[in-house]
Amino acid sequence: MNEAIKKNILNTIKSYDKIIITRHQRPDGDALGSTRGLAGILRASFPEKDIRLLSEDRSEELAFLGPEDETPPDSFYEGALVIVLDTGTKDRIANGKIHLAAEVIKIDHHPANDLPYGDICWIEEGRSSICEMIVDFYVSFKDELILTPEAATALYTGMVTDSGRFRFPSVTGDTLRLAAVLLDQGIDTESLFARLYMEDYEFFKYEAYVYEHMERTENGVAYLFVTREMQERFGLSREAASNTIGLMDSIKGCLIWLAFIDNGDGSIRVRLRSRFTEVQPLAARYGGGGHDRASGATVHSWEEALKMVAEADAQLGEYKATHEGWL
Ligand SMILES: [Mn+2]
């Protein structure tokens, strides 16, 4: 079934002269890597087409991958094809002009939801990353498509970051086989990993602060309030502040961990993570969503945040009482 969808996508791409590639707001490595990677493949394969990566949001941390395209006049969208990557719902698309285009393709790995979009959809929930799907697409049409080392590096960046360096349960044999295709292009992994994972000296001071200030509920929910004061004290960017969630991911017995990031505008961004049990339903109760074990939501007060912590604690207590084998 997916083979037919992929073929349809390739034929649709071939039928347009202008193609716009975009992604979700607050782009992560997968959103950024997949859009850059696909743009690179299509530019190399179809040099006669005008292909633009047009997103309203960029990422400081991943700027090393290279510059992005400037905003063209609205007329550019006329008769153009839009490809949206890694974006589950229409409201999260980081491009407010896609309605001006002729046709929209959606390629995604987020669970189905009530805000569908796209004329052609290729959705595989089980996939570890969109980058993996783009490499799969490339491999399916290897004779017609060209993968450049730059595109391979962008795609590898997304595969590595969205899979937690190939550790998450979504990683399959296919994931590694497709990653191998990228490595065969000659990626400078020493430089890439240094850029992705090395941190400034001050960051480790921040990390120490996080471990000093995080809390744990009775049943083992680890959580932290990333206040404005904390963000200013350590000079944290929006991304760095929200990445705090990752620091709490390896605490024995803490199967759910939450980070509450004060946006400074009256809203508090919540990042939810879990192992063995799912946090997606909890996020959904607060108007959020995402993956089973990695979700996001927004609350509007610290009281509401604590209510969420209490619900997570109750869920975890129930889980631990009725399951074995977790740690
Ligand atoms: Mn993704």
Mean pLDDT calculated for residue range 104-133: 94
What does the mean pLDDT of the chain come to? 96
What is the number of structural domains in the chain? Answer: 2
Q: How far is the CA of 110 from the centre of ligand 1 (A)?
A: 8
Q: How far is the CA of 242 from the centre of ligand 1 (A)?
A: 16
Q: How far is the CA of 6 from the centre of ligand 1 (A)?
A: 18
Q: Can you tell me the distance from the alpha carbon of 22 to that of 56, in angstroms, rounded to the nearest whole number?
A: 9
Mean pLDDT calculated for residue range 301-315: 98
Residue 327 lies in a domain: no
Per-residue model confidence (pLDDT) at position 48: 98
Q: How far is the CA of 255 from the centre of ligand 1 (A)?
A: 22
Residue 241 lies in a domain: yes
Mean pLDDT calculated for residue range 272-279: 97
Residue 208 lies in a domain: yes
Q: How far is the CA of 218 from the centre of ligand 1 (A)?
A: 32
Q: How far is the CA of 212 from the centre of ligand 1 (A)?
A: 31
Task: Mark whether 146 and 48 lie in a shared domain.
Answer: yes
pLDDT for 1 beyond 90: no
Mean pLDDT calculated for residue range 181-208: 94
Q: How far is the CA of 324 from the centre of ligand 1 (A)?
A: 30
Query: Rounded to 10 degrees, what is the CA torsion of 13, 160, 27, 107?
Result: 30
Task: Mark whether 191 and 208 lie in a shared domain.
Answer: no
Task: Mark whether 91 and 190 lie in a shared domain.
Answer: yes
Task: Mark whether 128 and 273 lie in a shared domain.
Answer: no
Task: Mark whether 9 and 120 lie in a shared domain.
Answer: yes
Task: Mark whether 162 and 217 lie in a shared domain.
Answer: no
Task: Mark whether 112 and 173 lie in a shared domain.
Answer: yes
Global pTM reads: 0.79
Q: How far is the CA of 233 from the centre of ligand 1 (A)?
A: 31
Q: Can you tell me the distance from the alpha carbon of 77 to that of 288, in angstroms, rounded to the nearest whole number?
A: 31
Q: What percent of the chain has pLDDT over 90?
A: 92
Q: How far is the CA of 183 from the centre of ligand 1 (A)?
A: 20
Task: Mark whether 191 and 258 lie in a shared domain.
Answer: no
Q: How far is the CA of 162 from the centre of ligand 1 (A)?
A: 6
Q: What is the largest CA-CA distance in the chain?
A: 62
Last residue in a domain, options 164, 196, 228? 196
Task: Mark whether 149 and 223 lie in a shared domain.
Answer: no
Task: Mark whether 43 and 192 lie in a shared domain.
Answer: yes
Residue 51 lies in a domain: yes
CATH number at residue 128: 3.90.1640.10
pLDDT for 115 beyond 90: no
**Residue closest to 98 by CA, chosen among 87, 121, 85, 82:** 82
CATH number at residue 213: 3.10.310.30
Range of the domain at 168: 2-196
